[in-house]
Amino acid sequence: MLLGLWLARDVKGVRAVMVAGSTALLVLAGYLTVTFLGDRAAGATDEMLYTASLNWFEPLHIKYSVGVDGISVAMLLLSAIIVFTGTFASWQLKPLTKEYFLWFTLLSLGVFGFFISVDMFAMFMFYEIALIPMYLLIGVWGSGKKEYAAMKLTLMLMGGSAFLMCGIFGIFYGAGGQTMNIVEIANHTGGAHAIDFAQQCIWFPLTFIGFGVLGALFPFHTWSPDGHASAPTAVSMLHAGVLMKLGGYGCFRIAMYLMPEATHELGWIFLILTGISVVYGAFSACVQTDLKYINAYSSVSHCGLVLFAILMLNQTSCTGAVLQMLSHGLMTALFFALIGMIYGRTHTRDIRELNGLMRIMPFLSVGYILAGLANLGLPGFSGFIAEMTIFVGSFQNADTFHRVLTIAACCSIVITAVYILRVVGKILYGTCTNEHHLQLTDATWDERFSVICLILAVAALGMAPLWVSDMINTGVAPIVDHIHATSHTVSTCNPFN
Amino acid sequence: MDYSQFLYMHAELSLLAVILILFVADLVMCPDKKSGKGVYNTCLPVVLLTLHTVLNFLPCAESQSCEAFGGMYVYTPMMTVMKTVLNVGTLIVCLMAHKWLSREENLVKQGEFYLLVLFTLLGMYFMISSGHFLMFFIGLELASVPMTALVAFDKKRRESAEAGAKFILLALFSSALLLYGISLIYGASGTLYFDEIGAQLDGSLLSIFGLVLFITGLGFKISLVPFHLWTADTYEGAPTVVTGFLSVISKGAAAFVLLTILMKCFAQSELFYSWNTGMYWIIVASITVANLFAIRQNNLKRFMAFSAISQAGYLVLAIMDGTAQGMTALVFYLLVYMVSNLGAFAVMTSIEENSGKILISDYDGLYQTNPKLAFLMTLCLFSLAGIPPFAGFFSKFFVFMAAFKAGYPLLVFIALVNTVISLYYYLLIVKAMYIKQSDSPIAPFRSDAYTRLALVLSILGVIVFGIGGVFYNYIEGFSYGL
């Protein structure tokens, strides 16, 4: 069924087909969620459901295996929503429409494939499939310093995948070179100790950095602002909304799940780095003047929070991390969609040149305020739920080191409020000084549709988070249990302990 | 004498038959100079070569390894696979040569081109199937000399003649080194049969010296750094079709032979260590130096030359793992590299023939005028850079996996970092085609049927070889290791 899910994406770049394809995708993802919840409720307790496996490169023990757990279902749902709304957001894209959607589809194919794979090889392959269309999408259809941004983004992410590939080989041969299947490696003979501890300490950082580059881990985040700022609207949406989640998902599913001891041993280094991401991203967002840069740095901060939460290594914080992925994905997509629409009208994203937009385009402005409020964690929206869960989870770690970091990260919420309110106040209220802007019109139907869908999703997640978090819980629990099942739980090299 | 031994050589014999038929056909069907039309066309060689490829490939599955002529000639199913890979490559080269050969000044030389190409191929066959250093050397020379004629094929163009001169001088030089190496090995072991050498060599200084010279000699052929200096000039000067042939076929055959001989003759622990260390640094140098130089090129053929050097580095990476997995990775890599590279060369040839342009800056805005060619070129470049879902990703992955398994994680890491560099310069061309605008873009044109067939074959390979796991599994079925 999941195979059909992405085979359905094999569409030509005509709008009608694109809409049909993305709707089908959304429906399928929704159907998958419902059946998944039904099966879980009916008592299916396997770690992965709907698994299918196909021998691919037999001599190398590479199989094409798919399957989903609670986390990946949530991610698939998120991707489907964003692809769906992204299609509408790029409705009016003019030159080379067909090619645009072709690469866009390839990108989403990579994303879907990544989330359904349980085989490291297939996962890595889809990861790279998702990266390369970015180059052309940004390079051809982007704006601003697009060539530079596209090249920087592609090379940095590919550099990350170089680390990652090394890490994958390390895990594969470290675990005996018998299988590439993630679940099988984790439950390998000898349990958690399949990979030698000394080896884990080499491969864990490589894998974590490899995925971390995509998850905008400080100091490997610099591609993100440039890339997001130059990308066309729908690509920014998909990229910030979904692609950056690949990083967090991969860190959790491969780096930490398969190398629990090294996670305990070296996790603190990355915890500090992600802490820096969170705070630094928020501060950077405060001083930017370009709307997209503000949002890109805010993404760095929020994605940092995802990695931060999974490294806190307990059930609550990890569930929070996945919730944050969902919530941030939706919010950022909403933000980028709105920014793209405003830019499409005013042709500037500089907040010094924009003001008083509330009168001119009320619909977009209201959308922007809602997105902003969700972003700073107002109760009722998804951001609140996610951040709340994360910080509650993080605070459960009783030692000083974790507590201090948690408090530092909490500060980012305040900083977020600063930059969001600053932007909202600056560009939406006041009087419009630019005469040209007075002639502008509000959103068209396709834009409204896309924005409303996203706002509904954000609100739904905020109002009724329990079913999602329960679903995620079923996915997170075995992984966290597995990480804790090791005897080596205290880091010997952490100077702060 | 047992004449049935000749049957083992069916591949060579049938190729010889093809050559003879073409030879006669060339005599009978001379081109009509007055009307300017070539009677002798591309069709005949292509059909014959296809027939030859298929006929030799089919019985491959059930055949057994055997020796003929007292061990001079060796046959294993793996060699048939290798020869088939070369056959397919040559076929694509012949297809894409059509347009170039239809030029007026080349019309009379059409027959020569095919004969030279096929003789080169025959030389490689003998090289691959040799069981004795003498046989190996004869094969090597048979492959080199016609190759020189091919490089200098455009004899009225000065660059082509210059490239030919450079090529023959360096080919001779490397042959001399190789011969010296072989003689030292003979001195150390007292035999030239591959099977016997292994037991005789003891890791003495003499044998190590012979080994080094041997690797140097083949290093010239594969164009590994630091033996690569002839590559860029020769590639640039040679006709584009020949460059394609040179960069894939001759390199691939040499790399395969290097692997088999290293495995057969120098597998003892002391020698194994010394060539492994040597290869380690050669690979690091090849990949890194070539990648850095490639960034600065503007002539597409020079660019491909450096790209080919770095690809050769990846190719021999598989040699580091002397097991069956390494051999499979090598042959598979070669197969994929062949289709990707020839695909790119087919695009380049067709553009050169139609517009005479060969600089990267000429490719600016190609997507606006010739979207299909630009798209195919992009696929081939992505495959060369190792981007999924194209075959290049799979072959690179397997080569790295083999080297990693052999215990060289650092080497794999260096190679991986280099793939990022290589991605940069491959993307430069993609950027030129898609993003940049040009005042005088290449005018739209339709390529001829043969070029299209070549393109279709290559692109099919680029797409299918990776995703279809059967190809890799099939090759794996025949490979053997230390």
pLDDT tens column, B411-442: 888 999 899 889 888 888 888 888 877 777 77
Nearest-CA residue of chain A relative to B424?
A155
- Cα(B243)–Cα(B254) distance, rounded to whole angstroms? 16
B388–A129 CB contact, under 8 Å:
yes
pLDDT tens column, B187-206: 888 888 888 887 787 778 88
Q: What's the burial of A94, exposed, middle or buried (CB within 10 Å: 0-12/13-18/19+)?
A: exposed
Bond before A219 cis per omega within 30 degrees: yes
| Burial letters B422-445, b for 16+ CB under 10 A, else e | bbbbbbbbbbbbbbbeeeebbeee
Least trusted range by pLDDT, from A401-410, B42-51, B114-123, B319-328:
B42-51
- Cα(B97)–Cα(B38) distance, rounded to whole angstroms? 14
B435–A139 CB contact, under 8 Å:
yes
| Closest of B178, B85, B102, B101 to residue B137, by C-alpha | B178
Sign of CA dihedral A265, A270, A276, A277: negative
Q: What is the per-residue DSSP string for B359-415?
A: BGGGGTTHHHH-HHHHHHHHHHHHHHHT-TTSHHHHHHHHHHHHHHHTT-HHHHHHH
- Cα(A452)–Cα(A371) distance, rounded to whole angstroms? 11
Residue with tokens 């490979």: B479
| Inter-CA distances, A72 with A61, A79, B103, Å | 24, 10, 59
- Cα(A161)–Cα(A337) distance, rounded to whole angstroms? 28
Q: For the residues B137-143, what does the mean pLDDT come to? A: 90
A49-57 and A62-68: which strand pairing? antiparallel
pLDDT of residue A7: 44
Indicate if the pLDDT at residue B63 is higher than 80: no
- What residues of chain A lie within 8 A of the CB of B434, using their CB? 136, 139-140
pLDDT tens column, B353-372: 888 777 878 888 788 888 88
Dihedral through CA A208, CA A211, CA A212, CA A213, nearest 10?
130
Residue with tokens 């694509």: B92
Helices marked H in B1-76 — which ranges? 5-8, 10-28, 43-57
pLDDT of residue B40: 56
Indicate if the pLDDT at residue A43 is higher than 50: yes
Which residue from A60, A151, A166 is facing B413, i.e. has the nearest CB? A166
Taking 3-state DSSP, the helix, strand and coil percentages for chain B, each rounded to the nearest 5, stand at 80, 5, 20
Taking all residues of chain A, what is their mean pLDDT, rounded to a whole number?
A: 78
Residue with tokens 């037991």: B199
Task: Pick the more confident residue, B344 or B445.
Answer: B344
Least trusted range by pLDDT, from A24-33, A69-78, A421-430, B128-137:
A24-33
pLDDT tens column, A277-304: 888 888 888 888 888 888 888 888 888 8
pLDDT band for position B179 (cuts 50, 70, 90) = very high
- Cα(B426)–Cα(B413) distance, rounded to whole angstroms? 20
- Cα(A165)–Cα(B420) distance, rounded to whole angstroms? 12
Q: What is the pTM of this model?
A: 0.88
| Inter-CA distances, A349 with A293, A338, A340, B363, B412, Å | 9, 11, 9, 33, 44
Chain A nearest CA to B457, separation (Å): 23
- Cα(A124)–Cα(B384) distance, rounded to whole angstroms? 18
Nearest-CA residue of chain A relative to B476?
A59
CA A145 to the chain's CA centroid: 24
pLDDT of residue B120: 92
Dihedral through CA B82, CA B84, CA B86, CA B89, nearest 10?
-140
| Inter-CA distances, B325 with B311, B383, B386, Å | 19, 21, 19
| Burial letters B120-154, b for 16+ CB under 10 A, else e | bbbbbbbbbbbbbbebbbbbbbbbbbbbbbbbbbb
Q: What is the per-residue DSSP string for A108-157?
A: HHHHHHHHHB-BHHHHHHHHHHHHHHHHHHHHHH--SSHHHHHHHHHHHH
pLDDT of residue A6: 43
| Inter-CA distances, A273 with A51, A413, B160, B198, Å | 35, 18, 57, 54
Q: Going by C-beta distance under 8 Å and a sequence separation of 6 or more, which residues neighbour residue A185?
A: A171, A175, A179, A194, A258
Q: Are B282 and B316 in contact (CB under 8 A)?
A: yes
pLDDT tens column, B88-97: 898 888 888 8
A165–B469 CB contact, under 8 Å:
no
Indicate if the pLDDT at residue B36 is higher than 60: no
User: Cα angle vertex A410, ends A408, A416, to 5°?
Assistant: 110
Write the DSSP symbol of residue B320. Answer: G
pLDDT tens column, A361-382: 778 888 888 888 888 777 778 8
Counting residues of chain A whose pLDDT is more than 90, the rounded percentage is 0
CB atoms < 10 A from the CB of B281, how many? 12
Residue A92, classed as helix, strand or coil, is coil
Counting residues of chain B whose pLDDT is more than 90, the rounded percentage is 6
Residue with tokens 């051999």: B327
Quick one: residue A490, left, alpha or beta (phi over 0 = left, psi -120 to 50 = alpha)? Answer: beta
Indicate if the pLDDT at residue B272 is higher than 70: yes
pLDDT tens column, A167-213: 888 888 877 777 777 777 777 655 545 677 777 788 888 888 888 88
Least trusted range by pLDDT, from A169-178, B55-64, B208-217:
B55-64
pLDDT band for position B482 (cuts 50, 70, 90) = low
Q: Going by C-beta distance under 8 Å and a sequence separation of 6 or more, which residues neighbour residue B323?
A: B402, B405, B406, B481, B482
A165–B416 CB contact, under 8 Å:
yes
pLDDT of residue A262: 80
Q: For the residues A467-495, what does the mean pLDDT come to? A: 75
The first and second tokens of residue A475, run together, are 């996915």
Indicate if the pLDDT at residue A354 is higher than 80: no
B328–A59 CB contact, under 8 Å:
yes
Q: What is the per-residue DSSP string for A443-473?
A: --HHHHHHHHHHHHHHHHHHH--HHHHHHHH
Q: Going by C-beta distance under 8 Å and a sequence separation of 6 or more, which residues neighbour residue A466?
A: none
Mutate which of B287, B320, B413, B421 to disrupt the A interface (most A C-beta within 10 Å)?
Answer: B413
Radius of gyration of the CA atoms of chain A, in A: 21
Which residue from A121, A139, A170 is facing B434, i.e. has the nearest CB? A139
pLDDT band for position B30 (cuts 50, 70, 90) = low
Which long-range contacts (C-beta less than 8 Å, at least 24 apart) are formed by B188-193? Answer: B192/B132, B192/B133, B192/B134, B193/B71, B193/B131, B193/B132
- What residues of chain A lie within 8 A of the CB of B328, using their CB? 59
pLDDT of residue B180: 92
Residue with tokens 């969609």: A337
pLDDT band for position A41 (cuts 50, 70, 90) = low
- Cα(A112)–Cα(A130) distance, rounded to whole angstroms? 9
Least trusted range by pLDDT, from A44-58, A322-336, B314-328, B448-462:
A44-58
Q: For the residues A151-157, what does the mean pLDDT come to? A: 86
Bond before A205 cis per omega within 30 degrees: no
CA A469 to the chain's CA centroid: 17
Nearest-CA residue of chain B relative to A124?
B388
The first and second tokens of residue A347, run together, are 């042709």
Chain A nearest CA to B434, separation (Å): 7
Mutate which of B288, B418, B434 to disrupt the A interface (most A C-beta within 10 Å)?
Answer: B434
Among A338-342, B139-143, B387-391, the range with the most confident prediction by mean pLDDT is: B139-143
